[in-house]
Amino acid sequence: MATSAGAGDPVRTLELLWEVRQHSGLGRKPELSLDQVVSAAIELADAEGLDSLSMRRVAERLGVSTMSLYRYVPGKTEMFDIMVDRVSAEVCYHHEDGDGGRDGWRSRLEQVVRANRALFERHPWLLTLFPRRPPLGPGVIAKYSAELHAIDGIGLTDVEMDSVLTLVLEYARGATANLIEWKKFSARAEQSDDQWWATLAPHLDRLLDQERYALAVRVGSAATTHYNGVHDAEHAFEFGLQRVIDGIESFVDDKCLPAEDDLLTDALPEGKRPSRR
Amino acid sequence: MATSAGAGDPVRTLELLWEVRQHSGLGRKPELSLDQVVSAAIELADAEGLDSLSMRRVAERLGVSTMSLYRYVPGKTEMFDIMVDRVSAEVCYHHEDGDGGRDGWRSRLEQVVRANRALFERHPWLLTLFPRRPPLGPGVIAKYSAELHAIDGIGLTDVEMDSVLTLVLEYARGATANLIEWKKFSARAEQSDDQWWATLAPHLDRLLDQERYALAVRVGSAATTHYNGVHDAEHAFEFGLQRVIDGIESFVDDKCLPAEDDLLTDALPEGKRPSRR
DNA sequence: ACTGATTTGCGTATGCTATACACAAATGAG
DNA sequence: CTCATTTGTGTATAGCATACGCAAATCAGT
């Protein structure tokens, strides 16, 4: 089971994300730190998935009682938020120091997708846990900032930059989810997952109208059969990635062509003006 | 909380999806039907979200005891599967009777995205519940089939068709999720959601490095501020949709140009051959 | 060194969840 | 009328998040 995070007092969560609270010096010293708690939770989620992540399990892993955790974290959803922010801090891009120049945005966007894919592969639970609103901690903001810089100065308005980035990140999420699924499929070959299709196929053949759904059966089995090798799944990932970036490129190009429209720019409201370096 | 479905015996689930089990005639007559149970669950999820969907609540709504439900459904995850299949049957496309012809695939793909958006808007819980593998019931298969026909015969291989459809559906999911989020934001204006940004912004200003993250702050607040009106959110939805389809179009066009490569087609393995009407 | 305020750790309790199991009620076939 | 069969349901279990209260630890001021 996986929830969207973001419940509870947002300001309290924000303070936790930025670690504003200091130990006052008075009173009993804490035996743990927020970082230890969150790290243990992340390790557990990495190893066994979000479903197996309970406060009890985290406490056991740390050798403390369940209720001790609530001294560090207001609740489970807030812990999720902090987990997301922490792992978001893992991604780092090297494209800020002007590699590629103004036309390098294609490869920079590719890097963004690949970095996100790697993040999802390291922490698959991120795929099932999507916060309604992103936790605005240092990790998330650094990531968002770096990713914006990948497409800054190519002639998009602020709102357009956000839309493009959202589109690209959404592709990274979806495509990685599929990739992981296919990898699981091919990994445990003699496991129950290989037999899944094998045992279901004959039943399906009996149940559904073969003529009516001829196309679906052909394409579906083609996708299932040919993706057994990881190579094809990789190919599908790259395929979609190029499609998405192509679509963005055609938009960027179309914007640059009618240059006489620049005169209209000053008539636009603040946030919609194109930002060029 | 939301899980991926697909646990339990897949064959048993398949039988439920296709309603193979008949009442044998013997024994006590069932007071409910599978459809009643699933419908009640869908209504409850529509109204209060997946988090509030418990077997107890469903049973209460139907005026039976909790355990009665397990006579119709092996478990909760299986019920999720059936829910997904049932609502998938709601979508229907009118583009099968040859409107637009061979070059109408752009508008047909748009229709696919819009139909999926409408589905997600009717049943927002679909966004949080994504099955690891789709339940192969009549609804899901009919939907998949109709969506494949939207891009059939335009010169893609079977595997490419699956990749394109996956990409498009993934966009529909992600973009609709964002859209719904923004709508919620603007809907409850004097609710806590409007104050969320208002109360958080000053704290954030204090916490993060304004210079370092100048771009992120500008774009982020632009996206948040300008999307208060639903109109802009709609615009962002259409924007991404056109980008995705543009990317697919450039691929389809590039495939058609080098026509002399058709000779190589016969060398390709079965599922990778382009299927043209 | 002692006191009091303060903070952490933890045991207990509550109310929620899914669901295994046993049994009662209902019903058709013989 | 009997019996096998199927459904409805009460009870029980194990797990979950977490509210609450108290004990233990630690510091500042005396």
Bridge-partner residues for A157, per DSSP? A274
pLDDT at B62 over 80: yes
The stretch B124-144 carries a mean pLDDT of 90
Nucleotides of C under 7 A from a protein CB: 5-12, 16-22, 25-29
CA angle B86, B88, B93 (to 5 degrees): 135
Separation CA B7–CA B28 (nearest Å):
29
pLDDT digits (tens, 9 = 90+) for A181-211: 877 766 655 555 566 777 788 888 888 888 9
Q: Does A110 touch chain B (CB under 8 A)?
A: no
Per-residue confidence (pLDDT) for residue A260, from 0 to 100: 54
Per-residue confidence (pLDDT) for residue A233, from 0 to 100: 81
Q: Which of A113-122, A169-178, B79-88, B175-184 has the lowest mean pLDDT?
A: B175-184
Q: C1' nearest to CA of B24: which nucleotide?
A: D6
Nearest to B148 among A141, A215, A232 (CB): A215
Q: C1' nearest to CA of A70: which nucleotide?
A: D18
Separation CA A132–CA A5 (nearest Å):
7
Interface test mutation site (partner B, options A141, A232, A237, A249, max chain B beta carbons within 10 A): A141
pLDDT at B188 over 60: no
Q: Residue A143: what are its φ and ψ, rounded to 5°?
A: -65, -50
Q: Which of A200, A30, A2, A146 is nearest to B130 (CA)?
A: A2
| A233's tokens | 């799944």
Interface test mutation site (partner A, options B219, B235, B250, max chain A beta carbons within 10 A): B219
Q: Which B residues 56-75 touch A at CB under 8 Å?
A: none
User: Cα dist. A50→A42, A47, A55, A76, A133 in Å?
Assistant: 9, 9, 11, 12, 19
CA angle A123, A127, A128 (to 5 degrees): 115
Distance in angstroms: CA A105, C1' D14: 54
Could you give the residue ranges of the DSSP H alpha helices within chain A?
10-17, 34-48, 55-62, 76-88, 105-122, 125-128, 138-149, 158-187, 192-207, 214-226, 230-256
Helix, strand, or coil here: A54?
Answer: coil
Please, how many CA atoms are within 13 Å of residue B206, restricted to the half-sphere of its CB?
A: 9
User: If you measure CA to CA, which chain B residue comes closest to A242?
Assistant: B247
Q: Crossing angle for the helix pair A158-187 and A138-149, nearest 10 degrees?
A: 110
CB contact under 8 A, B223 and A159: yes
Separation CA A178–CA A201 (nearest Å):
21
User: Cα dist. B271→A152, A166, A195, B105, B157 in Å?
Assistant: 41, 33, 21, 21, 7
| B105's tokens | 């695939």
CB contact under 8 A, A158 and B203: no
Q: Does A2 touch chain B (CB under 8 A)?
A: yes
Per-residue confidence (pLDDT) for residue B227, from 0 to 100: 61
CB contact under 8 A, B251 and A232: no
Evaluate whether A169 touches A179 at the Cβ level (below 8 Å).
Answer: no
Q: Which residue has the higher pLDDT, B67 or A276?
A: B67
Place of tokens 């982020």: B220
pLDDT at B277 over 50: no
Q: Does A78 touch chain B (CB under 8 A)?
A: no
Run means of pLDDT, 10 residues per run, chain A, 277 residues = 59 91 84 96 96 95 96 95 97 69 84 97 91 87 96 91 94 92 67 67 86 92 71 86 95 72 52 54
Within a 10 A sphere around the Cβ of B65, how many other Cβ atoms? 10
Q: Which of A12, A21, A16, A33 is nearest to A138 (CA)?
A: A16
Bridge-partner residues for B9, per DSSP? none
User: A240-250: b or e for each residue (b if 16 or more CB lie within 10 Å)?
Assistant: bbbbbbbbbbb
Q: Which B residues 255-274 touch A at CB under 8 Å?
A: 269-272
Nearest to B145 among A178, A196, A213 (CB): A213
Helix, strand, or coil here: A211?
Answer: coil
Bridge-partner residues for A274, per DSSP? A157
User: Cα dist. A139→A81, A135, B254 in Å?
Assistant: 11, 9, 40
Evaluate whether B110 touches B245 at the Cβ level (below 8 Å).
Answer: yes
pLDDT at B131 over 90: no
Evaluate whether A118 touches A157 at the Cβ level (below 8 Å).
Answer: no
Nearest to B225 among A128, A199, A271 (CB): A271
Per-residue confidence (pLDDT) for residue A33, from 0 to 100: 95
How far is residue B232 CA from its own chain's centroid?
A: 22
Residues of B in Cβ contact (< 8 Å) with A222: 158-159, 162, 270-272
| pTM reported for the whole predicted model | 0.89
User: Cα dist. A125→A1, B65, B128, B189 in Å?
Assistant: 10, 35, 13, 32
DSSP letter for each residue of B37-87: HHHHHHHHHHHH-GGG--HHHHHHHHTS-GGGGGGT-S-HHHHHHHHHHHH
pLDDT-based confidence at residue B180 (cuts at 50, 70, 90): confident
Distance in angstroms: CA B140, C1' D12: 38
Mean pLDDT of all residues belonging to chain B: 85
pLDDT-based confidence at residue B2 (cuts at 50, 70, 90): very low
Q: Does A195 touch chain B (CB under 8 A)?
A: no
Q: Which of A185, A205, A181 is nearest to A194 (CA)?
A: A185
Separation CA B216–CA B46 (nearest Å):
35
Place of tokens 């998009």: A156
The set of residues with CB closer than 7 Å to nucleic strand C is: A 23-24, 26-32, 64-68, 70-72; B 25-29, 53-57, 66-67, 70, 75-77
pLDDT digits (tens, 9 = 90+) for A203-231: 888 888 889 999 999 998 888 776 666 66
Per-residue confidence (pLDDT) for residue A15, from 0 to 100: 92
Per-residue confidence (pLDDT) for residue B178, from 0 to 100: 87
Per-residue confidence (pLDDT) for residue B202, from 0 to 100: 82
pLDDT at B6 over 70: no
Q: Does B220 touch chain A (CB under 8 A)?
A: yes
CB contact under 8 A, A167 and B243: yes
Per-residue confidence (pLDDT) for residue B265, from 0 to 100: 53
Four-point Cα dihedral A49, A54, A59, A62, nearest 10: 10
Amino acid of residue B222: A
Distance in angstroms: CA A66, C1' D20: 15
Q: Which A residues 170-189 touch B at CB under 8 Å?
A: 170-171, 173-175, 177-178, 181
The stretch B237-241 carries a mean pLDDT of 94
Nearest to A148 among B148, B219, B270 (CB): B219
Nearest to B219 among A162, A219, A247 (CB): A162
Q: Residue A16: what are its φ and ψ, rounded to 5°?
A: -65, -40
Residues of B in Cβ contact (< 8 Å) with A159: 222-223, 226-227, 232, 236
Q: Which of A62-66, B24-28, B147-151, B216-220 has the lowest mean pLDDT?
A: B24-28
pLDDT at B90 over 50: yes
